[in-house]
Chain A
Amino acid sequence: MPIKEDHTITADTFLSGIWKENPVFVMLLGMCPVLAVTNSVINALAMGLATTFVLLCSSALISMLRNFIPKEVRIATYIVIIATFVTITDYVIQAISLELYNALGAFIQLIVVNCMILGRAEAYASKNRFLKTMTNSLGMGIGFTIALLSLGSVRELLGNGSLLGYSLFGDAFQPWVVMVLPPGGFIVLGAWLLLFNWLKERKENLSLANERGTS
């Protein structure tokens, strides 16, 4: 007997991708583009939107076809579907802005191997109805974009003294160049994770203290 599907869409379906199961900060998926293209806000935004687009389209298609894809070749099917949408995105970005395309380089094509997208396909789209999948994927995409932006803004601010290309601190600012170079990506992401861990720990301690206070 097939497992009964749960079709109810709750706020959590959408919000889990943004906070509780954030693909970058909680699940550490799709790290390569997260670190490689976040040396400026605009690159981070473009990458986030492109990934969200591919995620939405591929989960839509996979969710609709989920009863027709044979189980043995599902991963290969998912990859081919994802690769098709990535090819579309690749050509579209090339047509819209060649400058952006050159800045992002091979990382647009490498969306194919972003484990977040394949992970969503395998864990969610293949098991849930169209609307529910779309809601969840949209949340995941937004969560991914927010994560990219939070890295990109810190790195651009520290490494270049600017935000979205506008200089903020004037000429006296000494840029912290290492932040826009590869090591900066690792260190800034590590620092964000530290911050989240600290917040989580503080919250747990507070609720623990409250429980003790009431009992």
Chain B
Amino acid sequence: MSPDSVSFIFLNAFLINNFVLAMFLGLCPFLGVSGKINTAWSMGLATTLVMLISSLSALFINELLVYFQIEFLRLICYIAVIASAVQLVEMSMKKFSPGLFKALGIFLPLITTNCAILGLALFQTSKEYDLAQSLAYSTGAGAGFILAIVLMAGLREKLELADLPNTSKGAAISLMLAGILSLIFMGFAGLGS
């Protein structure tokens, strides 16, 4: 597979350079919303949706910025687009599935400050991906995010039942778990060569 092919870009974002476990993007929801599998799943879906929308808009906006030679405004434009995409997802979710809207609560507007989304937009710009490649990159990144957060939620549900010493309860043991997950994902590094 050549590094520019659509299937490789998808696989790269999905497994080899997993956004959460290999590139440390989107850790806040990864540690914050991974208490239950159900909420983790819907959080992953909402994030993927925002990723798709903002990645496509970023592609279009970057063309405009380059055309007018105002690239220094890139960061501000991207974050504004992401904030509006999140608002859009929030409104449609409120209308079509109020239950999910309630379950995600405060974490829904916080998708704006999920670095995975801004990171995705910035990386695809610096790698100069075209439309098909950007689509593959954002779906791969979204699928990778869902995979990581659902795996983590499953592990943490089991952890609830484990008999831990008081000292290691909470964030400390979750981080250790994430470390081991990340170690496992390093095994995918061979896929690229």
Contact = CB atoms under 8 A, between A and B. Distances in A.
B38 to A, nearest CB: 23
Given A182-B22, A190-B175, A112 B118 contact: yes
B25 interface: yes
Contact of B113 (A91, A115, A181, A194): A115
B171 A193 contact: yes
Which 9 residue pairs are nearest across A and B when measured between Cβ atoms? A186-B179, A190-B175, A36-B24, A187-B179, A193-B172, A31-B27, A190-B176, A183-B183, A183-B182
Interface stretch (A1-9, A60-68, A80-88, A160-168): A80-88
Given A84-B76, A87-B72, A106-B123, A190 B179 contact: yes
Contact of A183 (B75, B119, B186): B186
Nearest to B176: A190
Interface of B: 21-28, 31, 72, 75-76, 79-80, 83, 109-110, 112-115, 118-119, 122-123, 126, 166-168, 170-176, 178-180, 182-183, 186
A110 B118 contact: yes
Interface in A128-183: 178, 181-183
B76 A80 contact: yes
Contacts of A90: 75
Given A32-B25, A80-B76, A190-B176, 11 more contacts: A32-B27, A75-B83, A79-B112, A114-B113, A182-B22, A182-B23, A186-B179, A187-B175, A187-B179, A197-B167, A197-B172
Q: Is the interface of B mostly helix, strand, loop or mixed?
A: helix
A99 interface: no
Contact of B166 (A106, A113, A178, A201): A201
Given A86-B75, A182-B22, A193 B175 contact: yes
A57 B28 CA distance: 24
Q: Describe A's contact surface by its main secondary structure.
A: helix
Interface in A25-51: 28-29, 31-32, 35-36
B76 A113 contact: no
Contacts of B186: 181-183
A109 B76 CA distance: 10
A24 to B, nearest CB: 11
Nearest to B110: A115
12 contacts: A31-B24, A36-B24, A75-B83, A112-B75, A113-B115, A185-B24, A186-B176, A190-B173, A191-B176, A193-B171, A197-B170, A197-B172
